[in-house]
Amino acid sequence: MYLKKITIKNVKCFDEIEIDFMQGKNPRLWTTLFGKNGLGKSTILQAIAVTLAGPGAMRELLPVAKGWVRGDKPYGEIIGEILWTESDLHAPIKGHGKPKTKSPYKIQYLVIGNDIQKLPKEEEKSYHIPLTIVPWSGQGTPKQKGNLTKDINRLRLTMYTENKKGWLACGYGPFRRLSGGSQDADKILYSGRIAARFVTLFREDAALTNVIEWLVRLYNTARDGDKKNKKALNYIKKAFVENFFPEPVTLHISARDVHLELSGKPRITLQDLSDGYRSMLALGIDLLRWLIQAFPDSDNPMHESGVVLIDELDTHLHPQWQRYIGHWLREKFPKIQFIVATHSPFLAQVADVDSHGLIAPSDKIKQESGNLILESDEHGVKIHPSSEAVGDLRIDQILQSPLFDVSIISPKTEAKLSRHESLHQKKSSGATLSKNEEKDYQQLTMWRENLPVQSDLESRQREQKLNVQIDNLRDELSEIE
């Protein structure tokens, strides 16, 4: 399955936005959301999750949708379009029409605020609870309503039903830890239901604590003769051997615990790893788990299709790993559609690169770029694609691009440069500088001449020595004069 489009109306900071996840005739497999804090990146991921998880899971994940309806609006809407893929189970034909294999399944949800009296007239007689999110047939023609009803019924029998083949979708929040989850969140996690795939996206008190227990259970049941779990265990071990992570890792599973061996270092338990490693490990193994469950007959579950939402993918990751993580995910899960929110300029380099590692043509970037920018105006938050391909740009260039639009120098340095420029303009215009201004100008001029321009430490050190020699020669010449 893939996500074709999402429309969000009157939800939190959004008046109305529509995001198309297609690249030509095919689903775009990597989309990155950029924007300042508080502009709704997490809200977009959660709204998408509503359409992917379904009404049953949402009753567990978000029993009270407080604050979801925007301002004084009467209600909100979330509309998603889902594409079927060959690995996904068909809906039973009887009573629901033919399975849709080319046109998308369209699903619409009503976001109910505090006052149910403000709902559309056709919904007034329906039994609705305030502050909930429920499926809705909309306000269209009878035919349009009928089609929406058919689609939601088809999805209730497939994507929204537990343990159905295919229809994989997962959502991960910024806190992807291996321990420390609350008791209530753990109940959802250990249930193994659809809601467990999205629990960290909606609950900050959730942790992927069952990752270790799942691996231990696979080991013990495989040892006792369970062929299905033995196949899964062998697949996981093989994945680690074949560089499942950006650096060499050996996975050791016993009847009681799981250890990793990093680049020949002593074995270490998963709980004792750094935050960054635990975050990556929790996400990678949890995704593997759901892929194996969704595609039990597949010889290579990592190459199956699905949708994965990740909020703040760069959390706790060293810049070296931020540089690789997006490309690594695309390489290891080549058919997964990733929709990611981030503040990392390194992840901007991922979206505009196609499956062959080539940068998308510049004339297509504006229409099809996978880098989307959230910006605010008097009408609310809007979203638009980046107008520039950044896959070949340096990080400093990306930071100064419309994706971030930030200065790459410190505020203190920026103030000194501004002061120097102001004094230089005054002097160039023929005006006389005061004694203090002239002193500042001379000092700032010398400081500016010695600013490092080289990008690596060794070159900067050579540059610094050269500047010292130039200053010494300047002093000697002044003495001669």
The predicted model gives 16-36 an average pLDDT of: 95
Of the candidates 76, 78, 73, which has an alpha carbon nearest to the alpha carbon of residue 7? 78
* pLDDT number for residue 459: 64
How confident is the model over 266-281, as a mean pLDDT? Answer: 83
For residue 33, the cross-strand partners are 341, 372
Crossing angle of the two packed helices 411-428 and 435-449, in degrees rounded to 10: 120
Query: How confident is the model over 8-30, as a mean pLDDT?
Result: 95
| Residue 433 CB partners (closer than 8 Å, separation 6+) | 423, 426, 427, 441
Q: What is the pLDDT of residues 416-435, one digit of tens each?
A: 989 999 999 988 998 999 99
Sign of CA dihedral 9, 14, 15, 16: negative
Q: Would you list the domain boundaries of the chain?
A: 2-168+309-399, 411-480
Task: Give the pLDDT of residue 138.
Answer: 84
pLDDT at residue 455, as a whole number: 59
Longest dimension (CA), the chain: 101
Task: Record the tokens describing residue 33, joined without a space.
Answer: 């959301």
Task: Give the mean pLDDT of 292-308.
Answer: 94
Rounded CA gap, 91 and 154, in Å? 6
Q: What is the mean pLDDT of the chain?
A: 86
pLDDT of residue 210: 79
Is a pLDDT exceeding 80 seen at residue 236? yes
Q: Measured between alpha carbons, how far is residue 110 from residues 15, 116, 126, 132, 141 in Å?
A: 15, 11, 12, 8, 17
Mean pLDDT of 358-384: 75
Over range 197-226, report the average pLDDT. 89
Per-residue pLDDT, averaged over 333-351, amounts to 95
Least confident of 124-138, 208-222, 392-406: 124-138
Query: In the chain, what are the helix, strand and coil shares in percent, each to the nearest 5?
Result: 40, 20, 40
In this predicted structure, the answer to whether residue 350 has a pLDDT above a threshold of 60 is: yes
Pick the CATH number of 2-168+309-399 from 3.30.565.10, 2.40.30.170, 1.20.140.10, 3.40.50.300: 3.40.50.300
**Confidence band, pLDDT 50/70/90 cuts, at residue 86:** confident
Which among 96, 197, 215, 230 is positioned nearest to 151, based on CA atoms?
A: 96
- For 350, the token pair is 């991922």
Among 217, 373, 224, 200, CA closest to 289 = 217
Of residues 325 and 181, more confidence is placed in 325
Instruction: Enter the tokens of residue 140.
Output: 């269209």
Average pLDDT rounded to a whole number, residues 250-266: 85
Q: How far is CA 176 from the centre of its chain?
A: 12
Position 10 scores a pLDDT of 96
pLDDT-derived band of residue 135, with 50, 70 and 90 as boundaries? Answer: very high
**Rounded distance, CA 392 to CA 293, Å?**
38
CA angle, corner 288, sides to 283 and 290, nearest 5?
100
Residue 365 pLDDT exceeds 50: no
Higher pLDDT, 270 or 435: 435
pLDDT of residue 75: 94
- For residue 198, what pLDDT band results from cuts at 50, 70 and 90? very high
Query: Pseudo-torsion of CA 109, 304, 315, 345, nearest 10°?
Result: -100
For 394-416, write each residue's pLDDT tens digit: 899 999 999 999 988 889 998 99
- At 54, the amino acid letter reads G
Q: What is the pLDDT of residues 51-69, one digit of tens each?
A: 999 999 999 999 999 999 9
The pLDDT > 70 percentage for the chain reads 89
**Which pLDDT value is given to residue 125?**
61
Question: Quick one: average pLDDT of 434-460?
Answer: 80
What is the amino acid identity at position 199?
V
pLDDT above 80: residue 109: yes
d(CA 47, CA 139) in angstroms, rounded, equals 20
In angstroms, the CA 190 to CA 197 distance is 10
pLDDT at 316: 84
- As a whole number of angstroms, the distance between CA 186 and CA 199 comes to 9
Handedness of CA 281, 286, 291, 292 (dihedral sign): positive
Say whether 103 sits in a helix, a strand or coil: coil
Say what percent of the chain tops pLDDT 90.
50
Collapsed DSSP state (helix, strand, coil) of residue 383: strand
Amino acid at 222: A
pLDDT value for 246 = 67
Whether the predicted pLDDT of 93 surpasses 60: no
Listed range (9-13, 232-236, 243-247, 318-322) with the worst mean pLDDT: 243-247
**Mean pLDDT throughout 263-281?**
82
pLDDT of 457 reads 58
Strand partners, 258: 253
Phi-psi group of 197: left, alpha or beta (phi > 0 → left; psi -120 to 50 → alpha; rest → beta): alpha
Residue 465 banded pLDDT, cuts 50, 70, 90: confident
